[in-house]
């Protein structure tokens, strides 16, 4: 009895001291809404503290957007919050539940197994953001996992998500990264880390699937209304708001996956639990940007069948959206047949929307005001030549931008990349096509440079940054890569090492899940 009493007192004491540390100022201006949904949407629990947290990096600009003082965030007090050792006032930490198709097989219950949503914040841009800690300890959804994240995946997600943001791709973002002072066991012992991730929300296709599979129509309705209010308020006024929501998500995902294709980005794990209703890219596990172009390129070590290969990404997104449509059936119409018709029509819209977005972006990459049916051969021949000669996707397009105007306004990448002689014929055809295009001469190169970045987070650079951090505690390569990829479209020869494809010994052919 006495022992139990003592334990209770110390627990209460711990809670009081945790709260008291942030009594005077509220360092993070939380404004939570997901926790107002029914209790079966999540489990309330605190992050598990770590031994010795140290700040690696804070995203000062993002902190300011969220009304968080960047200096506080980088201080021991801010670091303790990101590590899960201290709970800031206003936080209402939860792990959310969801399901999902993983590599095509349905898993009826996944959920935040190594992440905790601290709460939501209204940004100075008027948008609502989730603040989530990834690697923050076990939850009821951890299944066999330890709830932790190795440092490597934390750094990878920080680098790649922020690079995607700089490239203008809708994405979750990295607010801060910390080390834990603990090791985690994977193939070997590796240092642990926590990433503070910021997203429009963390509601996934799998969140809808979870409730649909349980036949929980009430929950589906609540979730639908919530997502409409939070992300697609215009759908509220539609005749059929749930249908308008589905259509809007399909449109956003078509745009998103087109952006990935145009950048040579391979997500690697497009399970339905890794696709957000907000239309942002999430889950930077085994992702990678292609170096040399090949449509069948796969990086993920576990993607044996190439399900999530570069060329399959649009088709997989389409399939995933069909899963969303299916989950939404009960809220689309009371009449099951009518609901199925509406869902099918909406899903059938995806290919056209994807192709339109892709063609628009492709036109900019080639310096054309539009890509028409007559351009199909020109575009396809370019990609065939790239694949046949194993040329670098990013630099090939960048070089086209250089060649579109000889005025030399921007420094060319010619020292890093020139087209081999086999391209002479193709380049002449392209030059003729440019002459017929109405795009103003002075406008073309700027459009091409914006569409054809030169500094992307190449896999070998990401790996080098992780190796330096994990093996030698040296974060300089990580910081430099984050800073370099923050301005992806302006070439600076002084940083040519960041533009170069990997040398043979640097090539990374495989990436691994962040688990």
In this structure, what are the phi and psi dihedrals at residue 72, rounded to the nearest 5 degrees? -65, -45
d(CA 252, CA 254) in angstroms, rounded, equals: 5
d(CA 461, CA 502) in angstroms, rounded, equals: 8
Q: Is 149 in the site for Mg ion (CB under 5 A)?
A: no
Q: Which is nearer to ligand AMP, 96 or 445 (CB)?
A: 96
Task: Please choose, from the candidates 214, 220, 245, 217, the residue with its C-alpha nearest in 3D space to the C-alpha of residue 231.
Answer: 245
* Least CB distance to Mg ion at residue 195 (A): 13
Q: Is 231 in the site for ligand AMP (CB under 6 A)?
A: no
* Least CB distance to ligand AMP at residue 140 (A): 11
d(CA 223, CA 220) in angstroms, rounded, equals: 5
Q: Which one of residues 162, 283, 291, 402 is an interface residue with ligand AMP (CB under 6 A)?
A: 283
Q: Is 274 in the site for Mg ion (CB under 5 A)?
A: yes
d(CA 422, CA 52) in angstroms, rounded, equals: 57
d(CA 414, CA 491) in angstroms, rounded, equals: 11
Contact string (CB under 6 A) for ligand AMP, positions 85-104, x = contact: --------------------
In the chain, how many H helices and how many E strands?
A: 17, 12
Q: Is 372 in the site for ligand AMP (CB under 6 A)?
A: no
Q: Which is nearer to Mg ion, 96 or 274 (CB)?
A: 274
Cβ-closest position to ligand AMP: 145
End-to-end Cα spacing for the chain: 41
Binding piece for ligand AMP, criterion CB under 6 A, among 2-10, 31-39, 138-146, 251-259: 138-146
Q: Is 147 in the site for ligand AMP (CB under 6 A)?
A: yes
Using CA atoms, how far residue 422 sits from 381, 384, 385, 388, 389, in Å, is 12, 12, 8, 11, 9
Q: Are 135 and 113 in contact (CB under 8 A)?
A: no
The position carrying tokens 């054309």 is 368
Q: Is 152 in the site for ligand AMP (CB under 6 A)?
A: no
Give the residues across from 165 on adjacent strands: none
Task: Please choose, from the candidates 247, 254, 284, the residue with its C-alpha nearest in 3D space to the C-alpha of residue 266.
Answer: 284
Site residues (CB under 6 A) for ligand AMP, limited to 102-121 = 110-114
Tell me the torsion sign for CA atoms 35, 40, 46, 48. negative
Q: Which is nearer to Mg ion, 267 or 398 (CB)?
A: 267
* Least CB distance to Mg ion at residue 274 (A): 5
Q: Is 274 in the site for ligand AMP (CB under 6 A)?
A: yes
The single-letter DSSP state of residue 430 is: H
Q: Is 464 in the site for ligand AMP (CB under 6 A)?
A: no
392 is catalytic: no
Q: Which is nearer to ligand AMP, 114 or 399 (CB)?
A: 114
CB-count exposure of residue 304 (10 Å: 0-12, 13-18, 19+)? exposed
Q: Is 203 in the site for ligand AMP (CB under 6 A)?
A: no
Binding piece for Mg ion, criterion CB under 5 A, among 209-217, 270-278, 360-368, 372-380: 270-278
Cβ-closest position to Mg ion: 283
Q: Is 283 in the site for Mg ion (CB under 5 A)?
A: yes
* Least CB distance to ligand AMP at residue 89 (A): 27
Element (H, E) at 349: helix 336-366
Q: Is 186 in the site for ligand AMP (CB under 6 A)?
A: no
d(CA 77, CA 23) in angstroms, rounded, equals: 13
* Least CB distance to ligand AMP at residue 97 (A): 9
* Least CB distance to Mg ion at residue 273 (A): 5
Q: Which residues sit at the interface with Mg ion, rule CB under 5 A?
A: 274, 283
Q: Which residues sit at the interface with ligand AMP, rule CB under 6 A?
A: 110-114, 141-142, 145-148, 269, 273-274, 283, 285, 513-515
């Amino acid at each position: 009895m006495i022992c139990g009493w003592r334990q209770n007192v110390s627990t209460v004491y711990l809670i009081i001291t945790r709260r008291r540390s942030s009594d005077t100022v509220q360092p993070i201006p939380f404004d939570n809404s997901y926790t107002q949904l029914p209790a079966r949407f999540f489990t309330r629990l605190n992050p598990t503290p770590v031994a010795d947290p140290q700040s690696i990096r804070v995203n000062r600009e993002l902190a300011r957007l969220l009304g968080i003082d960047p200096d506080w965030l980088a201080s021991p007090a801010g670091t303790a919050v990101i590590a899960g050792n201290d709970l800031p006032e206003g936080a209402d930490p939860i792990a959310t539940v969801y399901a999902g198709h993983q590599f095509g097989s349905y898993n009826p219950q996944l959920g935040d197994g190594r992440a905790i949503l601290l709460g939501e914040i209204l940004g100075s841009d008027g948008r609502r953001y989730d603040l989530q800690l990834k690697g923050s300890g076990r939850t009821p959804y951890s299944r066999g996992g330890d709830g932790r994240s190795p440092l490597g995946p934390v750094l990878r997600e920080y680098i790649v998500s922020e690079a995607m943001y700089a490239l203008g791709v809708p994405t979750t973002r990295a607010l801060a990264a910390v080390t834990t002072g603990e090791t985690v066991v994977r193939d070997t012992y590796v240092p642990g880390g926590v990433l503070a991730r910021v997203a429009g929300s963390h509601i996934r296709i799998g969140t809808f699937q979870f409730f649909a599979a349980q036949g929980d129509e009430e929950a589906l309705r609540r979730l639908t209304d919530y997502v409409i209010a939070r992300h697609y308020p215009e759908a509220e006024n539609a005749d059929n708001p749930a249908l308008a929501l589905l259509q809007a998500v399909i449109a956003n995902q078509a745009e998103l996956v087109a952006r990935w294709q145009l950048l040579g980005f391979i997500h690697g794990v497009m399970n339905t639990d890794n696709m957000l209703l907000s239309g942002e890219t999430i889950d930077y596990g085994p992702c990678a940007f292609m170096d040399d172009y090949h449509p069948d390129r796969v990086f993920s070590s576990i993607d044996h069948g190439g399900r999530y290969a570069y060329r399959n990404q649009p088709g997989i997104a389409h399939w995933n959206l069909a899963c969303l449509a299916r989950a939404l059936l009960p809220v689309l119409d009371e009449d099951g047949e009518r609901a199925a018709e509406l869902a099918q029509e909406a899903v059938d819209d995806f290919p056209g929307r994807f192709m339109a977005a892709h063609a628009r972006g492709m036109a900019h990459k080639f310096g054309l005001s539009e890509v028409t049916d007559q351009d199909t051969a020109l575009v396809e021949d370019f990609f065939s030549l790239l694949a046949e000669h194993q040329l670098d996707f990013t630099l090939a397009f960048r070089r086209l931008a250089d060649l579109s105007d000889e005025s030399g306004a921007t420094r060319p990448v010619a020292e890093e990349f020139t087209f081999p002689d086999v391209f002479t014929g193709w380049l002449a055809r392209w030059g003729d096509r440019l002459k017929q295009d109405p795009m103003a001469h002075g406008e073309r190169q700027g459009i091409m440079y914006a569409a054809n970045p030169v500094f992307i987070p190449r896999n070998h650079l990401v790996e080098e940054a992780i190796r330096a951090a994990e093996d030698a505690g040296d974060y300089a390569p990580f910081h430099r890569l984050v800073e370099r990829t923050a301005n992806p479209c302006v070439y600076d020869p002084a940083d040519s090492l960041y533009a170069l494809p990997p040398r043979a010994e640097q090539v990374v052919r495989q990436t691994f899940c962040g688990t």
